[in-house]
A and B are shown apart, each in its own frame.
Chain A
């Protein structure tokens, strides 16, 4: 079988990706997660001494905590299966990546298993997150120094 024939058969068998459907599901899932986070932020602003700016920290922590619980109970994978990137991109996806890796390697022991592999997936998120934050801060500092933007 030559390459072209193989490619033709492969294309005819492979199911087409429902891009629009996936995008819509991701939009709904990601949007719902952000809506819940907004409620939590408003809760912190209403009942505690947090401003719009400072409320983001406890909100992020709470969202990660909720996603960790949902991962532990096996519910977050259902959200991920339905929403795809909509479940992975928000900060809840980070909590899910940490806990799922910890659960997966629990049998290898708490130190070398859980401890050593917990940040297997999330490690890259932290690395590239910190690096991109550094780049953004650098660009913003330059823009502020030039007088184009304000802090």
Chain B
């Protein structure tokens, strides 16, 4: 019984500490674009606390994490950012999403150096975001 209590205490501590993941801004340029403008735009938005952006070929995919109390407007924040990025990079197909799936998948794409399947993965992510169900 004491062991179970200790284990429960330990597990709850681990669960609580799991929330202390640092919020990072990752920007990856694989398309020969000037990414500093996008970097400034995303970092200066006070409602955004973390982001992963990947410039690849003719695509720009951005996953954002918004601050807790801005979560009610996360779709709006993402669409606002998407509009601004489209103005900055009119030649790119821009996708911005506040969905955590997009953020984790974009981070994965940035961290894995394999270049062959990236385009396919980006298309899959676009299809996921556009899914209506």
Contact = CB atoms under 8 A, between A and B. Distances in A.
Interface of A: 35, 45-46, 49-55, 150-151
B99 A52 contact: yes
Given A46-B104, A150-B76, 9 more contacts: A45-B104, A49-B128, A51-B102, A51-B129, A51-B131, A53-B99, A55-B101, A150-B79, A151-B75
B20 to A, nearest CB: 16
Contacts of B100: 45, 52
A151 B75 CA distance: 8
A51 B131 CA distance: 9
6 contacts: A46-B104, A49-B124, A51-B101, A51-B129, A52-B99, A54-B131
Given A51-B131, A150-B76, A35 B15 contact: yes
Contacts of A46: 104
A104 B124 CA distance: 48
A95 B51 CA distance: 38
Interface string B62-81: 00000000000001100100
A150 B75 contact: yes
Nearest to A44: B101
A86 B131 CA distance: 34
A52 B75 contact: no
Interface in B81-133: 99-102, 104, 124, 128-129, 131, 133
A46 to B, nearest CB: 7
Contacts of A49: 124, 128
A100 to B, nearest CB: 27
A35 B102 CA distance: 22
Contacts of B76: 150
Contacts of B102: 51
B15 A51 contact: no
B125 to A, nearest CB: 9
A35 B15 CA distance: 9
B50 to A, nearest CB: 14
B133 A54 contact: yes
A114 to B, nearest CB: 32
